[in-house]
Structure 1
Amino acid sequence: MPQDRRKVPFSGKAKKQQIQAKKNRQNKTLLLSTSSGSSTYDVVSVNYQPKNRGGRGDSNRYTLKFYRETDAEMTLKKEEALKSLNSVSEKDMEVDPAEFFPDELTFPKRPPWDFNMTPAQLDSQEQRYFKHYIDKLQASDHWKDVSYFELNLETWRQLWRVLEMCDVLLLIVDVRYAGMMFPPSLYEYVVKEQKKDMILVLNKIDLVPAAAVCAWRQHFTRSCPALRVLCFTSCPGYNLRGATNDKAGLQVRRRRGRQQMCTEGATKLLEACKQIVGTHVDLSSWEKKIREESSLERDEDERTEIGEMIQEKADTTYYKHEKYKNGVLTLGCVGQPNVGKSSLMNAIMGKKVVSVSRTPGHTKHFQTIFLTPQVRLCDCPGLVFPSTVPRPIQILMGSYPIAQLREPYTTIRYLAERLDLPKLLRIDHPENDDSWSPRDICDGWAKKRGYLTAKAARLDTYRAANSILRMALDGKICLWLRPPGFTEERETFENHEDLKYIRWVQALTNEETSSITSDSDDERRSSESDSEDSDDGEEATIAMANKFKALANED
């Protein structure tokens, strides 16, 4: 028999090229053309899974899809990383949400259907509609300014299902970037077209001063009269332990090992739902649950109870909404990735019912959990709505996975021009210069943390940039943007009557409240994270009282 051809050795570089080519084939990179056919755009699957897990369904049905930057754009951004920083004033940190959501950038809505259509017909119709929707966006004047948004039809189908099922929609936003996470088109569709009630939940209010929370609450109340605005945090004071900030101003908040139900936020949500449903739904069991859970402690690491309705194939089912069907109130939870939807549901339940992750796209399908026999929660996967929000902000607020960034320096620049990063990180200039650039900050952090490349032992700038951005996402380095007019009316908001309600939800002691409101802007833009950079050897344990425990003793 003839001998097999002898294997030819090849370099490690060639092996890397083979692996990269294989990944590109697996990712099934999609080329979408504009309506004129003059140019193309690369669409990449961010969290693509090479193999199906368990052999059931398509594990890549709900992968996040975004447009990829061109090589020319990448080269230009890397050159900009070497230029000096230009500090931004507090006035320039005010943002008007209307600027980021033009009327042309509405979100895709489910096309009309009827019960005579087969699933195949409905699927084909929705595929055509979504392609037409993308083509229309590409032909609009705002297309060149459009930032990352969800391009996976399956994920939008999950939103359609939640909007059809819910009686009341909860839109959860991160209060640090509240203006960039509130799409007016969703408000118009839910309130004016579907005639449903909508509640805006300002989440993570423990990360910013109470005056800023008050300002955003007033802004949305004035701009959207039919909107109910509530405040929430899954980290009230009694669920935290230890010192809250380090010597440089970074707040290092650590969760307690055993968590209590966030009764303050749950109570306000219950009150809002009572006003909406009136006598149509009996919510006494929910009120009783809050009283009982307020006196109990739950293990943070207890086993997760996952909700029902996990979809394994294209969701083209029919659903005709019936308000308060069978006396059950359905609350739909919608928001962008990393705003804390799953954490909010766990905090309302008083135990871990939905798994939580910092990775965008972790929740891949909607799931329902019964809070009580009369209240049902429906969690939708995180969705990035079409907008002109700058990409650095989208990265900072967690809409795009940090690990997938090809060029992190633009986001580092945006962060460093609004915060004094060298002071917060306590780093020295790598070249002993007075002028800082985004690259200098990354090199300084890599030098301090000992991040070196494997072969040449050079400073690992990319790893340092990744570390800084994760600290910003977690809230340890906390950038928060202001609503219009906040600078001029700051004193008014610092003495507003809503502060009592906001601080009650935060459940902070007087000492903690005063430290947040008296620190400088750079020092108070930070919050919970791990303790890898804390130099404090001892932690001052602060006793925090749950002001709501008194209800547990009532009849």
Structure 2
Amino acid sequence: MPQKTFKRKVPFSGKAKKEQLKTKKQSKQGPILLQSLEDKEQSSSSIQKTNFQPTKDIRSKSNRYALQFFRESNEEIAKQKEVARQSLEAKTEKDLEVDGDIFFDEVLDFPKRPPWDFELSKSRLEAQENKYFTNYVDKIVQQFEGKDLSLFELNLETWRQLWRVLEMSDIILFIVDIRFPVLLFPPSLYHYVTGTLKKDFILVLNKIDLAPASLVVAWKSYFQDKYPDLHIVMFTTLPGYNLVGKQSNNEGMQVRRKRGRIRMAAEGTQQLFDICKKLVKDEVDLSSWQSKIKEELEEEYIDNDVENLEIGETVQLKNVDTHYQQYEKFNKGILTIGCVGQPNVGKSSLMNAVMGRKVVSVSKTPGHTKHFQTIFLTPNVRLCDCPGLVFPSKVPRPLQVLMGSYPIAQLRQPYITIKYLAERLDLVSMLRIEHPYQEDTWSAMDICDGWAKKRGYLTAKTAHFDSYRAANSLLRMALDGKICLCLRPPSYTENKEYWISHPEVKTVKWIQARSPEDEVTEKFVPYESDTSDCENIVGDDKVVGQDSDNEDEEDSECSEDSGDDEGNFIGTNKFAPLGPDE
């Protein structure tokens, strides 16, 4: 019997062992993005995964759809902190006017599924898509060299969900937040759907209860002029009859409570139905949908029970259908409407409002919807909810945070966003805070420290002001609409009177279903950076806030001495640009 020979062991460093274990772990978790970045001597630590769930099972797919962004360097964080310590520079109302052309470059296309056929094996197809997506991201990074490029989704699995929704849908419903509509609308997707796919594209201006009716009409006109093939719906998931208690106060911010049973948002749904009926014609029977809306419009809402949540049964597609199939228009006589949009624009909430009950889970955390879910509105109308996707753009980082595209809890440095907000809103008066260091000028850090002092946010060991917690608190209030910042379309300021008297303003108010005393009536308030006396607050501005998508009501961020009898927060808004919508 021949004697077995043993190969002499080669020295193996600890660094090499770590790399070996890292490669083994990545291979078991599935394809990891951006091999080309490693060629540029950027390790996988340059990718930050948010909403990542710790798990002992390396084969678990719980993190398959985790949001992935580029990680900010320590040098960038340090530079932003220095800027946040500088004195605030008050912006004018004109500075809130924006045009989408400066944020979406022609080069900033979105990733599309590469050509495929049924003869390709699953592994071959995945390899092909991975190679395409890696090249796509690498090209974008090279062209912009990291400058002016916003955070955008780097998880191929999430983009695959979009591809599937675009393939199976007859009509694409793209949802944007009325506060930042032009920053959330990628022109490349519009041109791809209407030009390449030859499908109808509906834009939903959602959360219109957060803005004056005249501003909503101005944004609608902006999109109609710029994109002629666009069909536009104005929508709110929380019209007046879905709220209980006082909905507005005398000054800047407010907190509202949802009713126990949420009715269908019938006014906005009627607009959506009218457009779908016009596009579908007689190819699909939509009579049952129309009957459902009519019943809701005629129903008297008398439910005052806030505690009992009659939310209905949660319905979602557990076994996700990711197989490839050839698109067939109105397959089996069913109209499929794909709901697409960036995170936190209210896609899942919109579906619940159209249904009149909770059918999909909602959250204010980006990436909460992990995969697309299909729900039958009627036997022949199907809604398909796609996960929120952050499209490539040149939107500034602070605005991405305020829009909800990036999770606030994952922010390493929130103060630069507070600076952006404080230079456009009079946060000092709104929050009724005193300067923590008794100085004449304010910085973003001063506002955070002042809010920490007012709320009692202190660090555990040293009992210093917890600036980070205070900044997160303010950003969550801005995300929920308690601190409301709305952008304007170009030339809005000089044409303000025209939009206030526009005939479509009545339609917006009908969709909002708000009583006259709860209408959004705003006036411009000059910024005073040294205001600290609560008695000097201007008291006749009204801004309607937006409840978070969380089903459980959160505690108010406001202290007892800064609210009215209803517990609503009182403050003042610098940019309340409109006179009363008469």
TM-based fold match above 0.5:
yes
3-state secondary structure, aligned to 1:354: coil
**Alignment partners' CA distance in 2, 1:43 and 1:526:** 37
Q: 2:228 maps to which residue?
A: 225
Q: 1:255 maps to which residue?
A: 258
**Alignment partners' CA distance in 2, 1:414 and 1:300:** 38
Letter in 1 for 2:556: S
Cα offsets for 1:96-115 (capped at 9, x unmatched): 01110101000000001111
Q: How much does 1:232 deviate? A: 0.4
Letter in 1 for 2:52: Y
**Alignment partners' CA distance in 1, 2:411 and 2:76:** 13
Which of residues 48, 53, 56 is equivalent to 1:49? 53
3-state secondary structure, aligned to 1:368: strand
Q: Structure 1's 262 and 57: CA in aligned 2 closer, same or farther, altered over 3 A?
A: same
Q: Structure 1's 142 and 102: CA in aligned 2 closer, same or farther, altered over 3 A?
A: farther
Q: 1:469 maps to which residue?
A: 475
Q: 1:89 maps to which residue?
A: 92
Contact 1:26–1:50 (CA<8 Å) still a contact in 2? no
TM-score computed with the length of structure 2 as normaliser: 0.84
Contact 1:342–1:379 (CA<8 Å) still a contact in 2? yes
**Alignment partners' CA distance in 1, 2:223 and 2:526:** 23
Q: How does 1:184-333 map to 2 (within 5 A)?
A: 184-246=187-249, 248-294=251-297, 295=299, 300=309, 302-308=311-317, 310-311=319-320, 317-333=323-339
Q: How much does 1:489 deviate? A: 1.1
Contact 1:248–1:425 (CA<8 Å) still a contact in 2? no
Pairs aligned (count): 514
Q: Does 1:527 align with 2:568?
A: no
**Alignment partners' CA distance in 1, 2:82 and 2:177:** 32
Q: How much does 1:141 deviate? A: 3.8
Contact 2:425–2:485 (CA<8 Å) still a contact in 1? yes
Q: Structure 1's 33 and 112: CA in aligned 2 closer, same or farther, altered over 3 A?
A: closer
Letter in 2 for 1:538: D
**Alignment partners' CA distance in 2, 1:155 and 1:540:** 40
Q: Structure 1's 34 and 59: CA in aligned 2 closer, same or farther, altered over 3 A?
A: closer
Q: How much does 1:289 deviate? A: 1.5
**Alignment partners' CA distance in 2, 1:34 and 1:50:** 25
**Alignment partners' CA distance in 2, 1:307 and 1:133:** 32
**Alignment partners' CA distance in 2, 1:511 and 1:160:** 45
**Alignment partners' CA distance in 2, 1:243 and 1:531:** 15
Which of residues 477, 486, 490 is equivalent to 2:492? 486
Cα offsets for 1:304-325 (capped at 9, x unmatched): 42222543xxx76212111111
Cα offsets for 1:261-319 (capped at 9, x unmatched): 110011110000000000101100101122334438796453542222543xxx76212
**Alignment partners' CA distance in 1, 2:352 and 2:84:** 40
Which of residues 420, 432, 441 is equivalent to 1:426? 432
Q: Structure 1's 306 and 540: CA in aligned 2 closer, same or farther, altered over 3 A?
A: same
Q: How does 1:166-185 map to 2 (within 5 A)?
A: 166-185=169-188
Q: Structure 1's 316 and 267: CA in aligned 2 closer, same or farther, altered over 3 A?
A: closer
Contact 2:261–2:311 (CA<8 Å) still a contact in 1? no
Contact 1:170–1:200 (CA<8 Å) still a contact in 2? yes
**Alignment partners' CA distance in 2, 1:275 and 1:409:** 48
3-state secondary structure, aligned to 1:259: coil
Cα offsets for 1:159-218 (capped at 9, x unmatched): 000000000000000000001000000000000110000100000000111111111100
Q: Does 1:372 align with 2:372?
A: no
Q: CA RMSD in A?
A: 2.6
Q: 2:115 maps to which residue?
A: 112
Q: 2:565 maps to which residue?
A: 538
**Alignment partners' CA distance in 2, 1:367 and 1:316:** 11
Q: How does 1:450-461 map to 2 (within 5 A)?
A: 450-461=456-467
Contact 1:248–1:423 (CA<8 Å) still a contact in 2? no
**Alignment partners' CA distance in 1, 2:379 and 2:140:** 43
Q: How does 1:29-108 map to 2 (within 5 A)?
A: 33-34=36-37, 37=40, 42-51=46-55, 57-108=60-111
Q: How much does 1:327 deviate? A: 1.1
Q: Does 1:509 align with 2:536?
A: no
Cα offsets for 1:12-38 (capped at 9, x unmatched): xxxxxxxxxx99x99999776559837
Contact 1:480–1:525 (CA<8 Å) still a contact in 2? no
Letter in 2 for 1:428: E
Identity, in percent, stands at: 55
Q: 1:139 maps to which residue?
A: 142
Q: How much does 1:257 deviate? A: 2.2
Q: 1:162 maps to which residue?
A: 165
**Alignment partners' CA distance in 2, 1:536 and 1:128:** 56
**Alignment partners' CA distance in 2, 1:487 and 1:442:** 31
Identify unmatched segments of 5+ residues in structure 2: 1-20, 528-540, 548-554, 569-582
**Alignment partners' CA distance in 1, 2:391 and 2:157:** 14
Q: 1:403 maps to which residue?
A: 409
Contact 2:251–2:542 (CA<8 Å) still a contact in 1? no
3-state secondary structure, aligned to 1:363: coil
Cα offsets for 1:314-340 (capped at 9, x unmatched): x76212111111111000000011000
Q: How much does 1:39 deviate? A: 5.9
**Alignment partners' CA distance in 1, 2:526 and 2:155:** 39
Which of residues 357, 362, 379 is equivalent to 2:368? 362
Deviates more, 1:187-196 or 1:142-151: 142-151
**Alignment partners' CA distance in 2, 1:487 and 1:166:** 39
Q: Structure 1's 348 and 520: CA in aligned 2 closer, same or farther, altered over 3 A?
A: farther
Q: How much does 1:526 deviate? A: 4.9
**Alignment partners' CA distance in 1, 2:399 and 2:567:** 34
Contact 1:219–1:483 (CA<8 Å) still a contact in 2? yes
Q: Structure 1's 423 and 58: CA in aligned 2 closer, same or farther, altered over 3 A?
A: same
Q: How much does 1:510 deviate? A: 1.7
Identify unmatched segments of 5+ residues in structure 1: 1-21, 542-555
Q: Does 1:152 align with 2:155?
A: yes
Contact 1:93–1:482 (CA<8 Å) still a contact in 2? yes
**Alignment partners' CA distance in 2, 1:206 and 1:521:** 24
Q: Structure 1's 115 and 30: CA in aligned 2 closer, same or farther, altered over 3 A?
A: closer
TM-score computed with the length of structure 1 as normaliser: 0.87
